[in-house]
Structure 1
Amino acid sequence: MKSKQEKFNSDVDYLPGVLDNLRQVSILTDLKNQIPKFALGNNRDLRVPSVTFFFRNSLNDIHFITNFWLLRVLDALTIRFEEFPVEILELVNLRYIALTYWMKHRFPASIAKLCNLEMLIVNPGKFRPIFNTSFLSPEIWKMARLRHLLFMRSYMPHPTYALMGRNIVSLENLQTLGNVINFRWTKEVHDMMPNLKKLVISFKHDGQTKWSSYCFDNFVYLHQLEILKCFFFAKSYLKYQDPLPMKFAFPQKLKRLTLSGCRISWKNMTVVGSLSNLEVLKLKFHAFEGPVWETNDGEFRRLKLLLIHMTDLEH
């Protein structure tokens, strides 16, 4: 059987005899009382590198996970955590973490202990995004091996102020960042993320902050960026915010671009049309406004997909 060849086993009772040879453990259960059965006492010599949960209830006590001291992959998206599971911070060999975290939360500063972490995925579950906003610790800027950070909504502290007097590490390995909120894309930031390939970013207008303070024009310095999704929201969803000042600039490697809520005039579309590698363009919720869009020769040479949704465009 393929499962035996890959050293995969899901029989909880059989685990004590095969733990030394297992490469992956999957836990499938609806009942909390089955979990201690898997803990195997205080055994600290479980050499399984990957654990995946298929669990249909909330769970707060996962102390047994510390038995897997060599664990590299922890996929717990099917478990709904009410508090951050601090037990996983003991697993310093973790490279991949996927969690479902369904309350407004802050990540502990001690997450920097996971110095080998490469991917962090946080899923809000079934609750509305407004109740699933995460607040990243400034220590996130010290995790030099990070490659992918994926959230539904997250506030990320700016490095200039978050790490004053602390050791700052460049996140030069970071390739994916999404979804960060109201983040200022200053020169310090793009210098610290020079290899970013995918960025999902949202801005919520507070009625006071000037749009120019978010430095949209600095996107152009993300020379490796291939995918950009940028969403703008008014203070009230029933009213449009003021149109953005046209200071967008995009890197030439960009292949996929999604814009929403910008309310920019179609006359400024040449900034997008001049992107020589652009293949997918999605314009949502009045990204551009006006009844007429006059295209120019030589634009959109590689475009394969164009989506225009919720607009006043007529011609």
Structure 2
Amino acid sequence: MELIDRRLIIVHERRSNGEVKRCKIHDLLREMCSRIGEKMNFLKLVNYNEDDPPMFFSQVLMHEKFHCMYSNYGESRFHSLPFGLHVRSLLFDCRNIEERSTIITSSFKVLRSIYLPGISYGHHLIGIEHLVHLRYLGISCKLPPMESFHKLEYLVVFTSSKIEIPKILLTMLSLRRMHFTGGAYIFASSRQQAIKDERFQLSNNLQSISVIRIFDEADEKILRCLHNLRRLKGTVGSSLNYSFDFLKQLESLRLQSEYGVLSSSLIILPLNLKQLTLVNVHVSPKQMETIGLLEYLEVLKLQHVAFEGEQWDTSEGEFPQLKFLKLYDVQLAEWNASGDNFPTLQRLVLQKCNNLKNGIPPNFGDILTLQMIEVDRCTKAVEVSAKKILEEQLDIGNEEFKVIISGPKS
């Protein structure tokens, strides 16, 4: 925070709870850091263009003293990565490299972090299984053999299609986080074993998984083995009942129906949940009451959610710790809240709420902690109620309170 306060780095993105998620730096500061890093034998930026000759090990031995390396090869056809005995971290941009090129990684004997954006199935990736010291692996193709990565802690796979999760990833004691941008599903043999074996168990220390398909009893049984899980993003099917209360450590949960709006009688949620996102889900009054009684819930996002009867009535004492509430394109016509709901709410975001006839409940004007209301492409009633709440907040001395209204008027 000191660097932010001194404007040496800039906040690029914040989380829903207001915490800093991503930062960026000025170009001049970046150039200075690059020069200092290279001078201290810490960082090396390697750029090659299409006019440069193909790269071979013997031509790039000069880079071996650096501990971190960023390589961008432009449009070049090449035969290997730069060689570096002491390189610990490598970011190698493969997006401009023609397919059928051979990418050799085994020369980095002590590499701990490798990120290969843009690598595709057409590239020949050789030797990555020999990088036994890896802690971080980021790729955009199918998984390499994982048996040798005994120290791996963070796995990121950037694909548009689903990846099959082999059993070994669920039993690696060092692995903490798995992120699959295109989604993932559990290997068939693991699912079959979970169903057949009543004493099915997995030893692991996984804390975060996204995005995983959760469709049936086998998937749930495997999830029950992830005792340390804190963050989970998943896609669900058409089952009427989902239970996640066995995930005692879970703090953040995002569920999305894979096939349109999910009709669910009740989703049972962990009591320690702090962040909840529901997408394409039908919610009953009982479901919303269950969510409202989560004692530690701070962030709630409802996207493409259908409220039963298009009505939401909050009860006394609900949402005691909620700080951030977002409603996006929800099927909601009437929203009623009592005077003591949302006592700690700081930010309310309403987007594409085209059916909300009675606007924002008037008691929001009495919430002392409220800092901002954002309205985007909502009904006229929502805009009018937001402006009225602004007046009430200013009347009680909340000079910092803001209302932002954007989008075409309904």
Shift of 1:47: 2.7
Q: Which residue of 1 aligns with 2:133?
A: 93
1:24 matched to 2:68 = yes
Equivalent of residue 185 in structure 2, options 148, 155, 166: 155
Residue identity opposite 1:266 in structure 2: P
**Runs of 5+ in structure 2 lacking a partner?**
1-34, 48-57, 335-410
Residues 187 and 5 (structure 1), Cα distance of their counterparts in 2 relative to 1, 3 Å cut: same
Shift of 1:168: 6.4
Equivalent of residue 48 in structure 1, options 70, 83, 87: 87
Residues 82 and 274 (structure 1), Cα distance of their counterparts in 2 relative to 1, 3 Å cut: farther
Residue identity opposite 1:115 in structure 2: H
1:178-193 matches, within 5 Å, as 178-184=210-216, 188-193=221-226
Equivalent of residue 226 in structure 1, options 233, 238, 251: 251
Aligned counterparts of 1:56 and 1:193: Cα–Cα separation in 2: 35
Aligned counterparts of 1:303 and 1:123: Cα–Cα separation in 2: 32
Q: Is the 8 A contact 1:143 1:169 kept in 2?
A: no
Q: Is the 8 A contact 2:104 2:125 kept in 1?
A: no
Residues 189 and 83 (structure 1), Cα distance of their counterparts in 2 relative to 1, 3 Å cut: farther
User: Of the two structures, which has the highest relative contact order with CA contacts closer than 8 Å and spacing of 6 or more?
Assistant: 1
Aligned counterparts of 2:124 and 2:232: Cα–Cα separation in 1: 25
1:118-133 matches, within 5 Å, as 118-124=153-159, 129=160, 132-133=161-162
1:1-315 matches, within 5 Å, as 1-3=35-37, 4-5=39-40, 7-11=42-46, 16-17=61-62, 19=64, 21-34=65-78, 36=80, 38-39=81-82, 46-58=85-97, 59-82=99-122, 85=125, 87-101=127-141, 107=143, 110-124=145-159, 129=160, 132-152=161-181, 153-157=183-187, 159=190, 161-162=192-193, 169-171=202-204, 173-184=205-216, 188-205=221-238, 210-212=239-241, 216-217=242-243, 219-234=244-259, 237=260, 240=261, 243-246=263-266, 248-315=267-334
Aligned counterparts of 1:221 and 1:182: Cα–Cα separation in 2: 15
Q: Is the 8 A contact 2:73 2:96 kept in 1?
A: no
**SS of alignment partner, residue 268 of structure 2:** coil
Residues 193 and 140 (structure 1), Cα distance of their counterparts in 2 relative to 1, 3 Å cut: same
Aligned counterparts of 1:270 and 1:184: Cα–Cα separation in 2: 25
Residue identity opposite 2:61 in structure 1: P
TM-score (norm 1): 0.78
Residues 65 and 290 (structure 1), Cα distance of their counterparts in 2 relative to 1, 3 Å cut: same
Q: Is the 8 A contact 1:176 1:197 kept in 2?
A: yes
Aligned counterparts of 2:122 and 2:215: Cα–Cα separation in 1: 26
Aligned counterparts of 2:74 and 2:309: Cα–Cα separation in 1: 54
Residue identity opposite 2:70 in structure 1: S
After TM superposition, the structure 1 stretch with the greater mean CA deviation from structure 2, 150-159 or 299-308, is 150-159
Q: Is the 8 A contact 2:281 2:306 kept in 1?
A: yes
**Runs of 5+ in structure 1 lacking a partner?**
none
Aligned counterparts of 2:237 and 2:122: Cα–Cα separation in 1: 26
Identical residues among aligned pairs (%): 25
Q: Which deviations, in whole Å up to 9, do the C-alpha atoms of 1:151-176 show, x marking residues without a partner?
A: 021111374525789x96411x2111
Matched residue count? 282
Shift of 1:119: 0.9
**SS of alignment partner, residue 268 of structure 1:** helix
Shift of 1:146: 0.8
Shift of 1:70: 1.5
Shift of 1:287: 4.7
Residues 162 and 82 (structure 1), Cα distance of their counterparts in 2 relative to 1, 3 Å cut: farther
Q: Which deviations, in whole Å up to 9, do the C-alpha atoms of 1:130-153 show, x marking residues without a partner?
A: xx1111222322322110100021
TM-score (norm 2): 0.61
**SS of alignment partner, residue 231 of structure 1:** strand
Q: Is the 8 A contact 2:79 2:101 kept in 1?
A: no
Shift of 1:77: 1.7
Residue identity opposite 2:252 in structure 1: I
Residue identity opposite 1:69 in structure 2: K
Aligned counterparts of 1:244 and 1:191: Cα–Cα separation in 2: 21
